[in-house]
Amino acid sequence: MTNEFNRIGLSMSKITVLSPITNVKASVINYLKLQWVPCFAHSLQLAIKKTLNNAPASITTSIATCKTFVNKFNRSTKLYDELRKIQNQVEEEELLLINDVPTKWNSTYLLLFRLTQLKSSILELAKNRPDWIP
Protein backbone atom coordinates (compact mmCIF):
# COMPACT_ATOMS: atom_id res chain seq x y z
CA MET A 1 0.00 0.00 0.00
CA THR A 2 2.92 2.34 0.71
CA ASN A 3 3.98 1.93 -2.93
CA GLU A 4 0.51 2.97 -4.07
CA PHE A 5 0.64 6.11 -1.95
CA ASN A 6 4.08 6.94 -3.35
CA ARG A 7 2.90 6.23 -6.89
CA ILE A 8 0.18 8.88 -6.67
CA GLY A 9 2.41 11.33 -4.83
CA LEU A 10 1.12 11.01 -1.28
CA SER A 11 3.49 10.94 1.65
CA MET A 12 2.73 8.44 4.40
CA SER A 13 3.56 11.20 6.92
CA LYS A 14 0.53 13.15 5.66
CA ILE A 15 -2.01 10.35 6.04
CA THR A 16 -4.65 10.58 8.79
CA VAL A 17 -7.13 7.79 9.41
CA LEU A 18 -10.17 8.46 11.57
CA SER A 19 -12.20 5.42 12.44
CA PRO A 20 -13.57 3.95 15.66
CA ILE A 21 -13.58 0.47 14.10
CA THR A 22 -11.09 -1.84 15.81
CA ASN A 23 -9.88 -3.73 12.71
CA VAL A 24 -9.14 -0.43 10.94
CA LYS A 25 -7.08 0.66 13.94
CA ALA A 26 -5.14 -2.62 13.88
CA SER A 27 -4.48 -2.25 10.13
CA VAL A 28 -3.20 1.30 10.52
CA ILE A 29 -0.84 0.29 13.31
CA ASN A 30 0.31 -3.13 12.04
CA TYR A 31 0.19 -2.90 8.26
CA LEU A 32 0.71 0.78 7.48
CA LYS A 33 3.03 1.29 10.46
CA LEU A 34 1.39 4.62 11.26
CA GLN A 35 0.74 6.12 14.67
CA TRP A 36 -2.89 5.86 15.73
CA VAL A 37 -4.63 9.11 16.65
CA PRO A 38 -8.11 8.42 18.02
CA CYS A 39 -11.05 10.51 16.89
CA PHE A 40 -11.67 13.29 19.42
CA ALA A 41 -15.48 13.16 19.12
CA HIS A 42 -15.51 9.40 19.63
CA SER A 43 -13.17 9.66 22.63
CA LEU A 44 -15.36 12.39 24.10
CA GLN A 45 -18.46 10.24 23.60
CA LEU A 46 -16.83 7.33 25.43
CA ALA A 47 -15.75 9.58 28.30
CA ILE A 48 -19.24 11.07 28.66
CA LYS A 49 -20.87 7.64 28.55
CA LYS A 50 -18.48 6.33 31.22
CA THR A 51 -19.13 9.38 33.39
CA LEU A 52 -22.90 9.01 33.06
CA ASN A 53 -22.67 5.29 33.89
CA ASN A 54 -20.80 6.15 37.10
CA ALA A 55 -23.02 9.12 38.02
CA PRO A 56 -25.01 9.16 41.27
CA ALA A 57 -28.23 7.15 41.23
CA SER A 58 -30.35 10.30 41.26
CA ILE A 59 -28.85 11.39 37.94
CA THR A 60 -29.02 7.98 36.24
CA THR A 61 -32.60 7.52 37.46
CA SER A 62 -33.59 10.96 36.14
CA ILE A 63 -32.04 10.27 32.75
CA ALA A 64 -33.72 6.84 32.59
CA THR A 65 -37.07 8.45 33.38
CA CYS A 66 -36.56 11.01 30.62
CA LYS A 67 -35.68 8.26 28.13
CA THR A 68 -38.79 6.30 29.14
CA PHE A 69 -40.89 9.43 28.72
CA VAL A 70 -39.55 10.11 25.21
CA ASN A 71 -39.91 6.43 24.21
CA LYS A 72 -43.55 6.51 25.28
CA PHE A 73 -44.14 9.44 22.93
CA ASN A 74 -42.29 7.71 20.10
CA ARG A 75 -44.70 4.79 20.32
CA SER A 76 -47.86 6.91 20.35
CA THR A 77 -49.11 9.24 17.65
CA LYS A 78 -51.95 10.17 20.04
CA LEU A 79 -49.43 11.52 22.57
CA TYR A 80 -47.54 13.44 19.90
CA ASP A 81 -50.78 14.93 18.58
CA GLU A 82 -51.71 16.06 22.09
CA LEU A 83 -48.23 17.56 22.58
CA ARG A 84 -48.47 19.47 19.29
CA LYS A 85 -51.90 20.77 20.25
CA ILE A 86 -50.57 22.04 23.58
CA GLN A 87 -47.50 23.57 21.91
CA ASN A 88 -49.83 25.60 19.73
CA GLN A 89 -51.98 26.61 22.73
CA VAL A 90 -48.99 27.89 24.74
CA GLU A 91 -47.50 29.41 21.58
CA GLU A 92 -44.39 27.28 21.82
CA GLU A 93 -42.42 26.29 18.74
CA GLU A 94 -43.64 22.92 17.48
CA LEU A 95 -40.65 20.69 18.20
CA LEU A 96 -40.36 16.93 18.33
CA LEU A 97 -38.78 15.05 21.19
CA ILE A 98 -35.31 13.64 20.54
CA ASN A 99 -34.46 10.00 21.19
CA ASP A 100 -31.28 8.84 22.89
CA VAL A 101 -29.17 6.83 20.46
CA PRO A 102 -26.16 4.97 21.91
CA THR A 103 -24.04 5.54 18.79
CA LYS A 104 -24.54 9.32 18.79
CA TRP A 105 -22.30 10.88 21.40
CA ASN A 106 -24.49 13.87 22.16
CA SER A 107 -27.94 12.32 21.92
CA THR A 108 -28.47 12.10 25.71
CA TYR A 109 -27.64 15.80 25.97
CA LEU A 110 -29.97 16.62 23.03
CA LEU A 111 -32.78 14.56 24.59
CA LEU A 112 -32.46 16.43 27.90
CA PHE A 113 -32.08 19.82 26.20
CA ARG A 114 -35.19 19.28 24.08
CA LEU A 115 -37.18 18.31 27.17
CA THR A 116 -36.19 21.63 28.76
CA GLN A 117 -37.23 23.44 25.58
CA LEU A 118 -40.65 21.79 25.77
CA LYS A 119 -41.01 22.14 29.52
CA SER A 120 -44.13 24.33 29.51
CA SER A 121 -45.94 22.09 27.01
CA ILE A 122 -44.99 18.94 28.91
CA LEU A 123 -46.14 20.43 32.23
CA GLU A 124 -49.43 21.43 30.61
CA LEU A 125 -49.79 17.92 29.21
CA ALA A 126 -49.12 16.49 32.67
CA LYS A 127 -51.93 18.64 34.12
CA ASN A 128 -54.38 17.58 31.41
CA ARG A 129 -53.35 13.92 31.12
CA PRO A 130 -51.41 12.74 34.18
CA ASP A 131 -51.91 9.10 33.15
CA TRP A 132 -49.80 9.74 30.04
CA ILE A 133 -46.72 10.83 31.99
CA PRO A 134 -44.44 8.07 33.34
pLDDT reported for residue 114: 95
Q: What is the pLDDT along the chain (134 residues), one digit of tens a residue?
A: 566 667 777 666 656 665 656 667 777 677 766 666 777 777 888 888 888 888 899 999 999 999 999 998 888 888 889 999 999 988 888 899 999 987 777 888 999 999 999 998 988 888 887 776 66
pLDDT reported for residue 9: 72
Cα(27)–Cα(25) distance, rounded to whole angstroms?
5
Q: Is the pTM of this model over 0.75?
A: no
pLDDT reported for residue 2: 63
pLDDT reported for residue 63: 92
Listed in sequence order, the residues at least 6 apart from 102 whose beta carbon sits closer than 8 Å to its beta carbon are none
Listed in sequence order, the residues at least 6 apart from 17 whose beta carbon sits closer than 8 Å to its beta carbon are 24, 28, 32, 34, 36
pLDDT reported for residue 102: 79
Amino acid making up residue 72: K
Residue 87 near residue 79 (C-beta atoms within 8 A)? no
